[in-house]
C-alpha cells in the first residue's frame, strides 16, 4: 500500500504558497504560471488555509466579485484538512471524499513538506493496481 511519502518521493515536494493578504488575482496568476490547481496560504510560516480554483469559481466568479482587490483570506478554505507522510493513499482519498477537497497539504511535525492532489492519489492507486496485475500475469504464465 503506497503512502504519501512514496508519492512525494516520485512527484517532489514543491509547494507554492501565498499569504492571506495576497490578492486572489495574484494567487490565480501563480497557479496559472505553475500549472497547479491550489496554493497553500501561510502566515508567519504557519499553514492557515488553502485556495483552489474551486473557491475562486464559487466565491468570486459566481458572485460577480472582483479578484483584483480581494484578499485570499476572504475565500480560502480554513481550517485545513491535511495528512502526514506516513498515511496511506487510500486514507487520503477517503479524507478528500469526506471533506470534499481535491488538495491536501502534507505536514510532518507541523512543517509543510508537500501537497497531495486528487490526481496524485489516483495516479498512485492506478500504478499500484497495474503493478499487481503485472505480478499476477507473470505468476499465471509461470504456473
- The tens digit of pLDDT for each residue in 8-65 reads 999 999 999 999 999 999 999 999 999 999 999 999 889 999 999 999 989 888 888 8
Cis ω before 70 (30° cut-off from 0): no
pLDDT in the model for residue 143 = 66
pTM above 0.95, yes or no: no
pLDDT in the model for residue 129 = 84
pLDDT tens string 92-131: 999 999 999 999 999 999 999 999 999 999 999 998 888 8
Buried b vs exposed e over 105-136: b needs ≥16 C-beta within 10 Å? bbbeeeebbbbbbbebbeebbeeeeeeeeeee
The number of folded domains in the chain is: 1
CATH of residue 36's domain is 3.10.580.10
Q: Which domain holds residue 138?
A: 4-142
Amino acid at each position: 500500500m503506497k503512502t504519501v511519502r512514496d508519492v512525494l518521493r516520485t512527484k517532489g515536494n514543491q509547494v507554492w504558497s501565498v499569504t492571506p493578504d495576497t490578492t486572489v488575482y495574484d494567487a490565480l496568476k501563480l497557479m496559472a504560471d505553475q500549472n497547479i490547481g491550489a496554493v497553500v496560504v501561510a502566515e508567519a510560516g504557519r499553514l492557515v488555509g488553502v485556495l483552489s480554483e474551486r473557491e475562486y469559481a464559487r466565491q468570486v466568479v459566481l458572485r460577480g466579485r472582483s479578484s483584483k482587490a480581494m484578499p485570499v483570506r476572504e475565500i480560502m478554505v480554513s481550517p485545513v484538512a491535511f495528512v502526514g507522510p506516513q498515511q496511506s493513499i487510500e486514507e487520503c482519498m477517503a479524507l478528500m471524499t469526506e471533506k470534499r477537497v481535491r488538495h491536501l497539504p502534507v505536514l510532518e511535525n507541523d512543517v509543510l513538506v508537500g501537497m497531495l492532489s486528487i490526481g496524485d492519489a489516483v495516479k498512485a492507486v492506478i500504478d499500484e493496481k497495474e503493478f499487481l496485475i503485472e505480478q499476477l500475469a507473470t505468476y499465471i504464465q509461470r504456473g
